[in-house]
């Protein structure tokens, strides 16, 4: 019975097929193959978290969603890998916002009663006002600070909730963010005169 289940499972699962091979019916060989797989893939499967276990504080300082900076203070200057990750988060954030994805007037599935079957009305979607980002700058980094200028246009605060959720998990799993600040000027002794051709300045082009 067990052998039959495994045989059927391997037909549709290439990775399982690669692990099991022709060892079905031979428990010792199957165990050996699984242990070998874990040895080879262990570093990928059990990848150590590199972020911070501390919660990421979030604050707002006279934040104008249509013309302001979002600031991040890191526990240490971010590496090139960290910069690529943070930049990718903001690029995804911008693409979704530019396409009108952050529109609280058209969140039909979220607003359904608990356990109700999913349904979607294109007529209701037409009634919702547009909610588009207008523009966003590149992500800039100096020392252990990063910032990005945003004009969130007619998008809703749900966009900020989504961004905070994403950066919270980035901070926990990948690169520790000491604080996230919406608004404010020249945090962390930010030097407006530094440019991209200077070693203390890095940026990620959105």
What is the 3-state composition of the chain as percent helix, strand, coil, each rounded to the nearest 5?
A: 40, 15, 45
Is 80 exceeded by the pLDDT of residue 20?
no
- DSSP-derived secondary structure letter, 75: S
pLDDT value of residue 4 = 64
Instruction: Report residue 135's pLDDT band, with 50, 70 and 90 as the boundaries.
Output: very high
What pLDDT was estimated at residue 36? 78
CA neighbor of 158 nearest in space, from 68, 89, 72, 97: 97
Tell me what pLDDT residue 28 has.
Answer: 79
Spell out the domain ranges in the chain.
2-45, 58-204
Residue pair 127/109 in contact by the 8 Å Cβ criterion: no
Report pLDDT digits (tens) over 21-71. Answer: 777 777 777 778 777 766 776 555 555 677 899 999 999 999 999 999 999
Instruction: Provide the sign of the torsion angle of the four alpha carbons 96, 101, 104, 110, taken in this order.
Output: negative
* pTM of the entire predicted model: 0.75
Is the Cβ–Cβ distance between 152 and 159 less than 8 Å?
yes
pLDDT bucket at 145, cuts 50 / 70 / 90 = very high
pLDDT score for 195: 76
pLDDT at residue number 116: 93
Query: Does pLDDT of 152 surpass 90?
Result: yes
Taking 90 as the threshold, does the pLDDT of residue 99 lie above it?
yes
Predicted confidence at residue 13, as pLDDT, reads 65
């Amino acid at each position: 019975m067990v052998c039959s289940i495994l045989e059927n499972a391997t037909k549709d699962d290439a990775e399982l097929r690669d692990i099991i091979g022709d060892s079905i019916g031979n428990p010792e060989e199957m165990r050996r193959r699984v242990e070998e797989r874990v040895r080879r893939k262990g570093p990928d499967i059990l990848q150590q978290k590199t972020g911070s276990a501390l919660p990421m504080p979030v604050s707002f300082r006279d934040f104008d969603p249509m013309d302001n900076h979002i600031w991040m203070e890191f526990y240490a200057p971010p590496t090139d890998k960290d910069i690529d990750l943070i930049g990718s988060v903001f690029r995804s954030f911008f693409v979704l916002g530019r396409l009108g994805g952050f529109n609280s007037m058209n969140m039909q599935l979220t607003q359904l009663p608990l356990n109700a079957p999913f349904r979607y009305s294109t007529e209701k979607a037409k009634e919702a006002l547009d909610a588009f980002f207008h523009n966003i700058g590149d992500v800039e980094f100096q020392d252990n600070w990063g910032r990005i200028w945003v004009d969130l246009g007619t998008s809703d605060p749900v966009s900020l909730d989504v961004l905070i959720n994403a950066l919270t998990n980035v901070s926990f799993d990948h690169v520790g963010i000491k604080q996230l600040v919406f608004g404010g000027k020249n945090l962390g002794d930010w030097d407006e005169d530094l440019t991209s051709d200077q070693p203390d300045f890095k940026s990620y082009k959105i």
